[in-house]
Amino acid sequence: MRTYRTTAVLLGLLVAVPALGFAALPQGTSTKPATSKSSTPTKATAPAPAVHATKGVIKSVSDTSLVISRPSSKEKEMTFMLDSTTQKKGTLAAGATVDVRYKTENKQNIATAVTVAEKKK
């Protein structure tokens, strides 16, 4: 008799708890996730190009390009394109050691940030 009563109470709770949960929803609220009903198809965005980083010594610099040498690397020299969005910290001059963050687009290295490293004393 005791197990029959316990079973009946548990079944009652199983039915009552979800019913109380639905009763708490405001009127007009659906339990289904909202879907966008846009008439224009969404465009798939291309992934952002990966950002790389390297260090080197400036060999030459102009308004639109930067060439650094990396003696310890397999690729001794690297050329970067500079544009108006490139963040420059410090004075870019030949012989200065720099940290360069860049992305590769159309087989060109485009510098996103160039930071002149402080000389160690």
pLDDT tens digits along 38-57: 555 556 676 777 889 999 99
Instruction: Give Cβ neighbours of residue 113 (< 8 Å, ≥ 6 apart).
Output: 86, 87, 88, 89, 100, 101
CA distances from 67 to 82, 96, 111 (A): 10, 11, 11
Tell me what the mean pLDDT of segment 13-29 comes to. Answer: 63
pLDDT at 99 over 80: yes
- Give yes or no for a contact between 98 and 92, defined as CB atoms under 8 angstroms apart: yes
Instruction: Give Cβ neighbours of residue 78 (< 8 Å, ≥ 6 apart).
Output: 54, 56, 67, 68, 70, 100, 109
pLDDT of residue 75: 79
Q: Would you state the structure tokens that stand for residue 118, as one six-digit string?
A: 């402080």
pLDDT grade for 95, boundaries at 50, 70 and 90: very high
Q: Is residue 30 part of a domain?
A: no
Q: Is residue 96 part of a domain?
A: yes
pLDDT of residue 67: 96
pLDDT at 98 over 80: yes
pLDDT of residue 23: 62
Q: Is residue 14 part of a domain?
A: no
CATH code for the domain in which residue 92 is found: 2.40.50.320
pLDDT of residue 83: 92
What range defines the domain where residue 67 resides? Answer: 51-116
Q: How many helices (H) and strands (E) does the chain have?
A: 1, 6
Distance CA 28, CA 37 (A): 18
